[in-house]
Structure 1
Amino acid sequence: MAAARKSRGTRVRHLGLAGRTGTVLLAAGIGVLSPASVALPAWAQQSSVAPDAGGYYATPPPVDPSKKPADENKPDKNYEQKTLCVQRSKLGGDQVDIKSRPWGQEYLQIQKVHELMRGATKSVGGGVKVAVIDTGVSAHPYFKNPVESGGDYVATPNGKAPGLEDCDGHGTEVAGIIAANPTDPSIGFRGVAPDAQIMSIRQSSQNYEEAEKKAEPPPPPPSSSNSAPPGSSNNELPPSSQGNGAVGGAADGTAPGQDKGGRQQEQGKTAGTLKTLAQAVVRAVDKGAKVINMSVDNCRQADGKITQGEQQLQAAVNYAVTQNVVVVAAAGNVGPKCPQNDQPDPKSPKMIVTPPWFADDVLSVAAIDDTGGVADFSVNGPWVSVAAPGTKIISLDPAEGSSSLANLTIEGGKDPGPIQGTSFAAPYVAGLAALVRAKFPGLQAREVMNRIKATAQHPAAPGGRDNFVGFGVIDPIAALTAIVPSEADKAKAVPLPANLPPSNDRDSTPMIVALAGTGGGLVALLVTLFVVHSVRRNRPTTAPARKTP
């Protein structure tokens, strides 16, 4: 009996050795394979269904469709130009050609995205109309398709179709990120969807202000023969507004760099209100847009109420989505009138930004910088949907008659600085939405929005989202190739073209050597274990009996 127990004990020890050996082998396998492992794509990770944002101010009240405004297709007030329009800079002579490819374009692998789209659809966003509701879009030779006139809520431009004057220089840069297509192959910059059709609706301007009501001049004394005739006025702009131009940027008073809080609505007497923004959304839908980009917003203190203008905009964006139009908006920039949402409870923001507040119907876009982290000027909030590059921007030079690019701007007479802001992160997402619509024409607007969120690079946060980057930085390759479970029957995967570059550029030689060495080590280990086990098994299990004298 003792011998049997001893034998069982030996077998138990052998099994324990085998278990430990299996653990060692598993650890070795993981250690060897980890350098070659690739993170799961976002679509294969946790569901992107948003958790309850909570908080009294995080969620707007239900939509009231009756608040949708009628499109008047005209300015709400009489605005007049107070500042010179953006001009070509004379600093350092002629404009320097910008050949480099912007980091944001590299980060999102836009070149590979274009090759994928050409192989799958023979076009890169062709047939999709993107409405840019902004400061207008100027004609530029780098647009493949002439910019379509959509409407004007600022003023009737002299000699130009409505919406095709960009006095501020902001809307042209936004539109360039969506659909610019330089003909010079040496230029690295390209729009995300260069074959898309841009439609411009001018809705705001910081260079146009509400016209002052002029009092009737008193009648001149009868004896005065040198007085000016009644009603005469000086039509020239005041000397203070004679801007010094910009390096591919804007004149004094304009802010494409958005260092002062961005394109805010209803600020002072400048052109642009939530009401006209809502009308512009309705107009874009009625004129056939499939994607709307709004790099303008309104920031105010959260007080538990909703204003009339916000109700109108909420109804307008809801109308757009129900009419199968994807709405993209900038998340907003920190500024003197829009402090950061850094309160202790992230679910109860102290500042509300619209239209991002209406997250059920809007893709709200935060900005990241070239480190991959969220930009410090990007407003946080429970409504943030996704993020995209928003610093060190390269886009079209918005100056009248320019045929080049811009990467710097001048604000208020200061030294040139980089173009940055969530305004320029939003068009990356609008361009991606145009590509998704071109590749998957059967998807509805909400499905397009869900695909972009579901395939983003999710942050390590509960539910795969946070208040900084939402569901994460967009991943255009995944958005155009992944199968999202909720739409598997509509968005069929398209085989990649044979000439597409390899998925990665890593050298496989070190991995082959490592695997070969590991395989040899495993074989030697197994042989050793077999020999040891055989020797122990063949040993006598009982000691020989002692001879007594």
Structure 2
Amino acid sequence: MSVARRTTTALLAGTIGVLSPLAIAVPGWAQQSTDGYFATPPPVDMSKLIPDERKPDKSYKQSKGCVQRSLGENIVLKNRPWGQEYLQLSKAQDIVKAATGGGAGKGVRVAVVDTGVTRHPWLPNLQSGGDYVAPTTKNQPPGLEDCDGHGTEVAGIIAAKPDNPEVGFVGVAPDATIVSYRQLSENYEPNTETSAPPPASSTGGTPSSSTNPPSGTQSSLPPSNGGGGGSGEGDQTSPGQSNGGRQLEKAGTAGTLKTLAEIIRGIAERGEADIINMSVDNCRQATGSITEGEQQVQAAVHFAAEKGIVIIAAAGNATDTCPQNDQPNAQKPKTIVTPPWFADDVLSVGAIDDTGGVAPFSVHGPWVGVAAPGTKIISLDPAEGSGGLANLTFESGDKASEIQGTSFAAPYVAGLAALVKAKYPNLNGRGIVNRIKETAQHPAAPGGRDNFVGFGVIDPVAALTATLPSEVGGMAPIPSQQMAQLPPANDRSPTPVIVALAGTGGGVVALLITLFVMHTIRRNRPAETGPARR
């Protein structure tokens, strides 16, 4: 080897020896591309944990009328939602009832952080949590006014309990308690004139009161133009999802990451719930560094998870402003969704459709935990004073569309968490999340997870019955061993069988030899000659 080559080799070895320790020391979140993309967040900064002030972070005013019935009354939906049948929820509920001797999810509290929850006769276990949008205008306790209709439908999927035997729909955990927090609304906007009453609004051409915009049918509300009210189809007073669901920090609406962080911290600190469902998201381009609001939410969910609370979040819906993560390298996402981004403490839920495939609007990402039904939704009618169900929403003029979105997949998982909590009361929050993940219908991917459905579609029956190797001590009961009902073993001597098989084999060999000999003799025998011809 020449001197030059030896010198080059030595330099290369020296360079590798110096750089390798540095490469190992750099955490995964810091290994970003030059574009600033990253798949996982930086470590939690608990100095960003903020106190719960239990009030809106700014002044808001109502800008649109509240959701109302549009198709009349006394319409009974007798069919069960496909998702209810797909997940075999009736079996899961029977398992819990038999194990606890009580109802399905009884004694478990689920916080719904959303647009509020309207009182409904089929939602008997409903409690006030708080209001971070505006003081209620209808003499309701804080959090029990839902102008948008979104939170009521979410709560219905978790814990609705119809008293009509003809109704097929029922919540996942119908005996659980819902604690409602109104954290955002697309029917409210920042009030720049705090000393003046809200401006007049109209619904269907009818003049409104100067202090309280009237309620109107969903189909009669005009689209919002300008003023930060959002844009695109579906940006009206409806709980639909075609415009991306309920987005935090959206211009011209109420709801910020700051108040979300406050609510999560407050729930954990005061012990107000066992499970938190957040069908609300903040979606942004995956560039730059983590924002202050994201840090506040990250600290809050970590604080709550350490307190033993299960935290469920919708994975998010792909829209023009929230692009789908369909890039070749999944570790360099185009879009980041909060709170799902904080997967160490949050179980995020993607959506499937009635074919069992991934719903096209469900945002992909390394943080997706599990999946659940998110299309053709049936739930409680969110209109004030209603006593029925809804399976359609009016988002653009008189155009009716099905209710869908990851917002409605998340409560299926929150309801399952309530059932697991009821059956396994000694499991903490992380244990419940682990049980849901491990018993999901894993996709055919390395490690049993992918970026579309995470660890797979939830399996409620398995989550309530499986014995997991990861659980130790008294965290989950171990089923007793069942005696196998098999016929007695045959302990007779095998010698006769061996002799018989050997004799049969010998006979076959002798027969083959005989056939071979006869064939050889016939082939070698001289051919007979016939009489000579004349």
State the TM-score, normalized to the length of structure 2.
Answer: 0.78
Higher relative contact order by CA 8 Å / sep ≥ 6: 1 or 2? 1
Identity among equivalent pairs (%): 60
Q: Distance in 1 between matches of 2:43 and 2:302?
A: 11
Confirm or deny: 8 A CA contact 2:62 2:198 kept in the other structure: no
Deviations 1:97-124 (A, max 9, x none): 1111000000000111111111111221
Q: Name the structure 2 match of 1:391.
A: 375
- Find 1:237's aligned residue among 201, 216, 221: 201
Deviations 1:197-217 (A, max 9, x none): 1000000000011112279xx
Name the SS of the counterpart of 2:470 in structure 1.
helix
Name the SS of the counterpart of 2:68 in structure 1.
coil
Q: Name the structure 1 match of 2:424.
A: 440
How many residue pairs end up in the alignment?
445
1:257-276 matched pairs, under 5 angstroms: 257-276=240-259
Q: Per-residue deviation at 1:378? A: 0.3
Q: Name the structure 2 match of 1:335.
A: 319
Residue 359 in structure 1 maps to residue 340 in structure 2: no
- Find 1:450's aligned residue among 424, 429, 434: 434
Q: Where does the alignment leave 5 or more consecutive residues of structure 1 unmatched?
A: 1-51, 216-230, 497-525
Q: Distance in 1 between matches of 2:339 and 2:512?
A: 84
Q: Distance in 2 between matches of 1:493 and 1:364?
A: 27
Q: Name the structure 1 match of 2:146.
A: 166
Name the SS of the counterpart of 1:385 in structure 2.
strand
- Find 2:173's aligned residue among 170, 175, 193: 193
Q: Distance in 2 between matches of 1:530 and 1:271?
A: 88
Confirm or deny: 8 A CA contact 1:278 1:313 kept in the other structure: yes
Question: Aligned AA for 2:87?
Answer: L
- The change in CA–CA distance for 1:490 and 1:82 in structure 2 (over 3 A counts) is same
- Find 1:157's aligned residue among 114, 133, 136: 136
1:63-462 matched pairs, under 5 angstroms: 63-89=44-70, 91=71, 93-122=72-101, 123-145=103-125, 147-158=126-137, 159-213=139-193, 236-238=200-202, 245-246=217-218, 253-285=236-268, 286-462=270-446
Q: Distance in 2 between matches of 1:540 and 1:304?
A: 83
Q: Name the structure 2 match of 1:509.
A: none
Confirm or deny: 8 A CA contact 2:111 2:180 kept in the other structure: yes
Q: Distance in 1 between matches of 2:188 and 2:90?
A: 38
- The change in CA–CA distance for 1:260 and 1:478 in structure 2 (over 3 A counts) is same
Q: Distance in 2 between matches of 1:144 and 1:408?
A: 23
Q: Where does the alignment leave 5 or more consecutive residues of structure 2 unmatched?
A: 1-27, 206-212, 223-233, 481-497, 522-534
- The change in CA–CA distance for 1:59 and 1:87 in structure 2 (over 3 A counts) is same
Q: Distance in 1 between matches of 2:463 and 2:318?
A: 29
Name the SS of the counterpart of 1:487 in structure 2.
coil
TM-align CA RMSD: 2.8
Q: Name the structure 2 match of 1:44.
A: none
- The change in CA–CA distance for 1:531 and 1:485 in structure 2 (over 3 A counts) is same
Q: Per-residue deviation at 1:531? A: 7.7
Confirm or deny: 8 A CA contact 1:245 1:252 kept in the other structure: no
Q: Distance in 2 between matches of 1:401 and 1:347?
A: 48
Q: Distance in 2 between matches of 1:310 and 1:414?
A: 38
Confirm or deny: 8 A CA contact 2:66 2:216 kept in the other structure: no
Which range moved further: 350-359 or 233-242?
Answer: 233-242
- The change in CA–CA distance for 1:533 and 1:160 in structure 2 (over 3 A counts) is same
Confirm or deny: 8 A CA contact 1:69 1:279 kept in the other structure: yes
Deviations 1:187-233 (A, max 9, x none): 11010000101000000000011112279xxxxxxxxxxxxxxx7x6
- The change in CA–CA distance for 1:472 and 1:536 in structure 2 (over 3 A counts) is same
Question: Aligned AA for 2:85?
Answer: E
Q: Distance in 1 between matches of 2:304 and 2:77?
A: 37
Q: Distance in 2 between matches of 1:71 and 1:252?
A: 30
State the TM-score, normalized to the length of structure 1.
Answer: 0.76
- The change in CA–CA distance for 1:531 and 1:255 in structure 2 (over 3 A counts) is farther
Confirm or deny: 8 A CA contact 2:44 2:298 kept in the other structure: yes
Name the SS of the counterpart of 2:457 in structure 1.
coil
Q: Per-residue deviation at 1:153? A: 0.5
Confirm or deny: 8 A CA contact 1:252 1:410 kept in the other structure: no
Q: Per-residue deviation at 1:288? A: 2.1
Deviations 1:147-189 (A, max 9, x none): 1110110000021110000000000000000000001111110
Q: Distance in 2 between matches of 1:110 and 1:344?
A: 37
- The change in CA–CA distance for 1:242 and 1:197 in structure 2 (over 3 A counts) is closer
Q: Distance in 1 between matches of 2:454 and 2:430?
A: 16
Name the SS of the counterpart of 2:187 in structure 1.
strand
Q: Distance in 1 between matches of 2:267 and 2:198?
A: 37
Q: Per-residue deviation at 1:284? A: 2.0
Confirm or deny: 8 A CA contact 2:246 2:280 kept in the other structure: yes
Q: Distance in 1 between matches of 2:513 and 2:358?
A: 69
- Find 2:464's aligned residue among 480, 483, 496: 480
- The change in CA–CA distance for 1:243 and 1:341 in structure 2 (over 3 A counts) is farther
Q: Distance in 1 between matches of 2:461 and 2:499?
A: 46
Name the SS of the counterpart of 1:411 in structure 2.
strand
Q: Distance in 2 between matches of 1:273 and 1:302?
A: 19
Q: Distance in 1 between matches of 2:132 and 2:512?
A: 100
Q: Per-residue deviation at 1:236? A: 3.3
Confirm or deny: 8 A CA contact 1:176 1:191 kept in the other structure: yes
